[in-house]
């Protein structure tokens, strides 16, 4: 305590007053800066919280839009699947009708071949009759085989065409939805 008292005696009172005033002023400036920094920090926290809330809201909106687009695409795909099913049923009915018509045509060709074999009863023309009957049978067989192959190829082409158009429609719908059209 004596050392402190001696210290006060070394410097005049106005120096001590100036030193205390300087410390008080320094303390005031530091406090003001601290207060300003706290205010800036609070403002930054508020701004950050607002930006986070905005980003979350935008994410939720985007997710909602994406779900709506996904639902529309799913519905479009289901509609296309139903159309494909309907087209396939129509195609099956047309194939059945074609097979029935083709069978009638084969039967007619076979009947014609049989009639060609019976056209002449004269023994002199028996060789001509037999040759004509064989040619008619060969022609009927070739026609029957070519018709069966054409039917099979047409069936494959029809199935691929239906699948291709359905795929193209689904792709176009998805592209339009994703592009915002």
Q: Is the pLDDT confidence value at 94 over 90?
A: no
Q: What is the mean pLDDT of residues 107-117?
A: 69
For the chain, how are helix, strand and coil distributed in percent, rounded to 5?
A: 95, 0, 5
Element (H, E) at 77: helix 13-118
> What confidence tens digit (pLDDT) does each residue in 70-80 have?
898 888 888 88
| Percent of the chain residues past pLDDT 70, beyond the cut | 83
Q: Count Cβ atoms within 10 A of the Cβ of residue 53 and give its class: 0-12 exposed, 13-18 middle, 19 or more buried.
A: exposed
Spatial contact of 109 and 139, defined as CB atoms under 8 Å apart: yes
| DSSP letter, residue 162 | H
User: Sorting pLDDT into bands at 50, 70 and 90, what band is 169?
Assistant: confident
Coil vs helix vs strand at 1:
coil
Any idea where the domains of the chain sit in the sequence?
2-179
Report the pLDDT value the prediction gives residue 53, as an integer from 0 to 100: 94
Q: What is the mean pLDDT of residues 22-27?
A: 86
The chain-wide mean pLDDT, for the chain, equals 80
Q: Is the pLDDT confidence value at 11 over 90?
A: no
> What confidence tens digit (pLDDT) does each residue in 139-162 have?
777 877 888 888 888 888 888 888
> What confidence tens digit (pLDDT) does each residue in 54-67 have?
999 999 999 998 89
| CA angle (110 as vertex; 98, 135 as ends), nearest 5 | 120
Nearest to 153 by CA among 81, 98, 110, 83: 98
Q: Is the pLDDT confidence value at 120 over 60?
A: no
What span, in angstroms and rounded, lies between the C-alpha atoms of 85 and 148? 24
Nearest to 131 by CA among 120, 143, 141, 142: 120
Spatial contact of 80 and 166, defined as CB atoms under 8 Å apart: yes
Q: How big is the chain by its Cα radius of gyration, in Å? A: 49
């Amino acid at each position: 305590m004596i050392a402190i008292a001696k210290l006060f005696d070394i410097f005049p009172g106005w120096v001590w007053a100036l030193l205390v005033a300087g410390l008080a002023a320094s303390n005031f400036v530091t406090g003001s800066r601290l207060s300003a920094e706290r205010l800036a920090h609070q403002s930054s926290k508020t701004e950050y919280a607002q930006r986070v809330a905005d980003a979350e809201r935008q994410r939720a909106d985007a997710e909602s839009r994406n779900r709506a687009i996904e639902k529309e695409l799913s519905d479009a795909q289901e509609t296309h699947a139903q159309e494909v099913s309907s087209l396939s049923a129509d195609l099956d009915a047309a194939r059945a009708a074609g097979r029935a018509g083709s069978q009638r045509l084969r039967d007619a060709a076979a009947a014609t071949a049989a009639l060609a074999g019976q056209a002449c009863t004269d023994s002199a023309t028996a060789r001509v009759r037999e040759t004509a009957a064989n040619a008619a049978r060969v022609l009927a067989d070739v026609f029957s085989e070519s018709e069966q192959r054409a039917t099979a190829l047409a069936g494959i082409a029809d199935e691929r065409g239906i699948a291709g158009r359905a795929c193209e429609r689904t792709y176009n719908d998805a592209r339009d939805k994703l592009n915002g059209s």
